Amino acid sequence: MTKNKQKKALITGITGQDGSYLSELLLKKGYKVYGLIRKTSNSNLDNLSHIQNELNLIYGDLLDPVSLVEVFRKTGKVDEVYNLGAFSLPGLSFKIPTYTANVTGLGAHRLFEAVRQYSPKAKVYQASSSELFGWIKEQPQTEETPFNPANPYAASKLYAHTIAQIYRRGYGMFIACGILFNHESPRRGFGFVTQKVAYAAACAKLGIRNSRHLNEEGEPIVKKGKVALGNMEAVRDWGFSKDYVEAMWLMLQQKKPDDFVIATGKLKSIKDLCETAYSHVGLNWEDYVFIDERFMRPTETGPLVGDASKAKKILKWEAKLTFEELIALMVDTNIARLK
């Protein structure tokens, strides 16, 4: 009896929170895991430091099709490809829109073409986003809800999502798209509001009045004991990244490629986020938060809240960690780091 061949997977965006949790999952399942990293990512391997020796990291860039060909020359044919690579800051995408489009939209297209030519039997996961729904047409949003992007990041994701479907139908490729709603973790970057608030609450708990980490404007996230935020009424459907990467893997274990909304189905506002984070450390958020017009988006999406019934029925997936448990985990992790 022959042993099962070890599966090979390639992950773009492996240094991010999703890439690191997905790497852990695939390693536990016995995969040989390859990760695409850019030269600029070399100093940003914190999320992978505990498993780095088990990974096969390869330099490449979604902006450069020649480097993608080289990646497949090194890996050979792979079984699964997870495209998590993107410039994924919707607010900041207004400031660098063409770069966002090049990485997030055309970058996905370049990868699909490289897979088509050099590993056509690979199953591909494309990270789509709830931002596709933008100025929403209905609530909650399902796989059938019309897309209506409200920022350059979302428009770029829509291009990638559409090209994925064109390659699926036109070339018979297995490309599944996960329309993931907001998902967070202690590994989230400081450009995201959940991590910013969790970090600020940790600073408040420890009495740190001027933080070491900086915000998008190059200023301390916590300055004179307070954190600057934008629209407090904005609402999102927030889940846990570790739960969501399991859904990515499940999509590629199906017989046919399809699109799935992955969400908790529960809406929370930025105000709810602040209240949850600061109350976890016994403080009143209103004493530590102020509104800064610089962090207001030119356009606001939502309310974005997903209906993951299809994923529950077909993938047997549903979110495990609650919003309150997630924010508590993020605050506690930041406290431990700051200590």
Catalytic residue among 129, 130, 156, 211: 129
- Count the Cβ atoms, other than its own, within 10 Å of residue 208: 16
Closest CA to 26 of 60, 65, 54: 54
Say if CB 69 and CB 114 are below 8 A apart. Answer: yes
Q: Which of 24, 131, 184, 275 is catalytic?
A: 131
Give start and end residues of each alpha helix (H) in the chain: 17-28, 65-75, 97-100, 107-118, 152-171, 193-206, 241-251, 270-280, 309-310, 323-338
Return d(Cα 117, Cα 309) in angstroms, integer.
35
Q: Please say if 153 is a catalytic residue.
A: yes
Choice among 21, 125, 153, 278 that is catalytic: 153
Which contacts qualify for 131-135: CB closer than 8 Å, 24 or more apart?
Answer: 131/90, 131/157, 131/301, 131/304, 132/157, 132/158, 132/161, 132/179, 133/301, 133/304, 134/301, 135/299, 135/301
Nearest of 96, 169, 156, 166 to residue 127 by alpha carbon: 156
Query: Within 10 Å of residue 66's Cβ, how many Cβ atoms?
Result: 10
Q: Which pair of tokens denotes residue 226? A: 């307070």
Catalytic-residue membership of 34:
no
Q: Is 67 a catalytic residue?
A: no
Catalytic residue numbers read 129, 131, 153
